[in-house]
Structure 1
Amino acid sequence: MPQFEEIRPYYDTEVNQAIREIIDHPMLKAMMNFTFPEWTDDQWKTLMLHCHSIRDFQINFIYPGVQKVLEKSSDGLFTSGFEKLEENTSYLFISNHRDIILDTSLLNACLYEKGFFMTTSAIGDNLVKKPFLKHLSRLTRNFTIKRGLPARELLESSKLVSAFIRQSLLRENRSVWIAQREGRTKDGNDLTHKGVLKMISMASDEGEHFLDYFKRLNVVPVSISYEYDPTDILKMPELLAKARQEPYIKGEHEDFNTLLNGIIGAKKRIHIHIGDVLTPGLEKIAQEVNGTVKQLQALADLIDEQIILGYKLWPSNFIAHDLLTGSDQFKHEYSDQEKALFEARFRKGVDINNPVAVENFLCMYANPVTNQKRLQDTLSQF
């Protein structure tokens, strides 16, 4: 539709032409040589030039690429909760966000393997400024969210994105992935920004309560956790600037370097958990919470609860928590070898003479433990 022209993915009718525009790009060659090391360039180019839909492009080129990334840089992808999903049903997946590209790529690989339609996914325009990345983004069914806009333009942009999400979910029956907050979580605290929920609700019908609208969207929280965050060291400058209460300005190629390191960096094990459809929880909020502001916060809390409880805690999380607290509270959750490997990684990338740097790095891994245990303790009181 014309109104979505600036933010939408390609239509299937545009896919082949878009491929022809990037077929000789060196970055595409690098991607395909990594994905299909036994193929000649002519082989993958011939196959790609016969591609005429986003689904074909994802299944024949992106999915094998994701499998190769898992093979080369992880100890496996594990899942839970997918049995809750129903075929031919669209969902609004609201997820914690750790890695620029892999979070959605891995979710879509799992959806494909389990017989579900893949999502259309939100991506910040700061990540697709280069023409090649813009093409690739649109070829993998991403829609663009503009960043850093003045207030008036931000409002109009938010309305447009909200309308696109509604169109995808309710008219096209296409699931949507969006992060629970703008940008990736860098400190391990997975908290939903109410601004994201307000933006989504903008497309509700006139006079419709936002909770009733969210019921129609089939909201499902998603938790993704990496045993090793491949970009943990790259997050440190921003965390240290924040600790010093200083503004942080990204380097010219920082986003691209982070994107690349997220793909090729060591991850060990990865887990994706699909939470429950929030409809019962939304009904409970409507009955028990008064006032739009409090209801919006209750919705954010409900999403946070599922994401935090669904987050898979790895030995790295427990090791970081014990190192941070100077205790052995969770020593039964990891081996001496796992602790030695984690400490070696940590000492290699962090100035251990800088207590602020040490604390920030460890918190990145330890906070999911703290948050999950605190939430479990709170819920056990009811």
Structure 2
Amino acid sequence: MLDSNSDIFKEIRPYHDDEVNGAIKNLINDQEFLDLIMHAKFSIHNKKLIKIITPLLKFFLKVKFRNIKTVKQVQDQIANYMHKLIPNTIEKLNYEGLEKLEKNKPYLFISNHRNIAMDSALINWCLHMEGFPTVRIAMGDNLLKKDCSTILMKLNKTFIVDRSSTGRELLKSLKNLSKYIRLSLKEGNSIWIAQKSGRAKDGNDQTDPAMIKMLSLDFKKDKLSFSDIVNQMNIVPVSISYENDPCDIMMANEIHKLNINGSYEKTEFEDIDTIIKGILGKKGKVNVSFGSPLKGEFTTPEEVSAAIDAVIHKSYYLFPYNLIAAEQTKDEDDILELKEKWNQKLESLSPEIRLIVKNMYAKPVHNKKIL
């Protein structure tokens, strides 16, 4: 069992039930976590006011979470939050394809990546609504620079992907990660991982073959054919489509600065602000499409990546804004009204940012067209 051998995964794995209570206590006593709540929830930055409110906030959190002792109870709390969040931030959520999957089988869900927190949260919500177990979530350590962030994520069945090491240390960590994912699947735990490192900020959903190579590392010692390795992974491609990306202009600005300066340096709270905006921002309609488990003959990671991409691009739901951005619409009354809203969205932007946003929404149309 994974639990009995967990020490080798201790630094990357989610918390076990017997660690939940201690993790919550550490979180409540973490001043950065308390500051983050006051920054994000109440927009409080005044140090004197923070000092006054901190004891009250700690008392509230202790009362709120005093009965949370297990991972399942944490997940139940998140499900309750999602039940309230979705109607407030999503006009309509549609999902499809789960009828092709079995509830007692573990799957390796590989999806496109547009929203840091909501991609995995929405996949989990869809699974939860249909009676499937929730997934263990892969997250890069670049997003977990603060102790409180790591605690929060590991409470929510998140495991950590090393994106900071280099050379031999990186290879060692990738082998350990591959072993953890394989063992999780073997023991009946489904996994979610994005198709590449980082979001598709330009709207171009492409699976990185390096990710497929990482997943296959632990299988190599068994001397299996590459096709057998891929088929054993039970990969399910998932396509997530947002009518409106609440972080689109932020990402366009980042892309523009990269184009101009060749680099981009994030501010201290930028990742946190992006996560919060991605969670709380209005997304319009959202579609989540689950593919069939990937089976077949494969000889290279590039072939697997291409097969995943084909499913994601084909099942990506094109909203009117995608078609308007790609100039693939006819001037019918309903489209003219949406075009007006689209133009209002873009009118305050500089020509450079406007073009980046337009291309961001148009790219899925072009990817689907070339299949």
Question: Please, what TM-score do these two structures have when normalized by structure 1?
Answer: 0.85
Which residue among 62, 75, 82 is the counterpart of 1:58?
A: 75
Equivalent pair of 1:20/1:49 in contact (CA under 8 Å): no
1:319 and 1:334 in contact (8 A); partners too: no
- Displacement of 1:43 after TM fit? 8.2
Matched with 2:105 is 89
Equivalence for 1:347: 347
Cα offset for 1:373?
A: 1.5
- Could you say if the C-alpha distance between residues 138 and 86 of structure 1 is closer, same or farther in structure 2, counting changes exceeding 3 Å? same
> What TM-score, normalized to structure 2?
0.87
Q: Give the CA deviation at 1:32.
A: 9.7
1 CA distance for matches of 2:340 and 2:243? 15
Question: 2: CA distance between counterparts of 1:366 and 1:91?
Answer: 31
- 1:48 paired with 2:65, answer yes
Match of 1:182 among 173, 197, 207: 197
Query: Which runs of 5 or more structure 2 residues have no equivalent in the other structure?
Result: 1-5, 43-56
Q: Which amino acid is the alignment partner of residue 359 of structure 2?
A: C
Separation (CA, whole Å) in 2 of partners of 1:180 and 1:333: 38
Aligned to 1:178, what secondary structure does the other structure show?
strand
The letter of the residue matching 1:131 is D
Question: 2:226 — aligned with what?
Answer: 210
Partner Cα separation in structure 2 for residue 43 and residue 165 of structure 1: 37
Task: Indicate the residue corresponding to 2:48 in structure 1.
Answer: none
Q: CA deviation at 1:217?
A: 1.6
CA contact (8 A) 2:112 2:238 kept: yes
1:30–1:78 CA distance, 2 compared to 1 (3 A): farther
Q: What SS does the corresponding residue of 2:132 show, helix, strand or coil?
A: coil
By how many angstroms is 1:130 displaced? 1.6
Cα 1:320–1:207 shift into 2, 3 Å: same
The 1:8/1:333 distance shift into structure 2, 3 A limit, reads farther
Mapped contact 1:318–1:330 kept (Cα < 8 A): no
Identity of aligned residues (%): 37
Change in Cα spacing, 1:123 to 1:104, as seen in structure 2 (3 Å) is same
> In 2 relative to 1, CA 231–32 (structure 1 residues): closer, same or farther, beyond 3 Å?
closer
> Structure 2 vs 1, CA of residues 226 and 2 (structure 1 numbering), >3 Å: closer, same or farther?
same
- The match for 1:325 is none
C-alpha contact (below 8 Å) 1:275/1:306 kept by paired residues: yes
Say how many residue pairs are matched.
Answer: 347
Confirm or deny that 1:360 pairs with 2:365.
no
The more displaced of 90-99 and 237-246 is: 237-246
Q: Write the distance in 1 (CA, Å) between the matches of 2:333 and 2:250.
A: 27
Aligned partners of 1:120 and 1:177 also within 8 Å: yes
Give distance in 2, aligned partners of 1:221 and 1:312.
Answer: 14
Alignment partner for residue 260 of structure 1, among 271, 276, 280? Answer: 276
Q: 1:93 offset after TM fit, Å?
A: 0.4
Partner of 1:130: 146
Report what 2:11 is aligned to. 6
Q: CA RMSD in A?
A: 2.3
- Offset, 1:23: 3.7
Encode CA deviations 1:341-382: one digit per residue, 9 max, x unaligned. 22212223x21xx3x32221101100001111221xxxxxxx
How do 1:163-178 residues align onto structure 2 when only pairs under 5 Å count? 163-170=179-186, 172-178=187-193
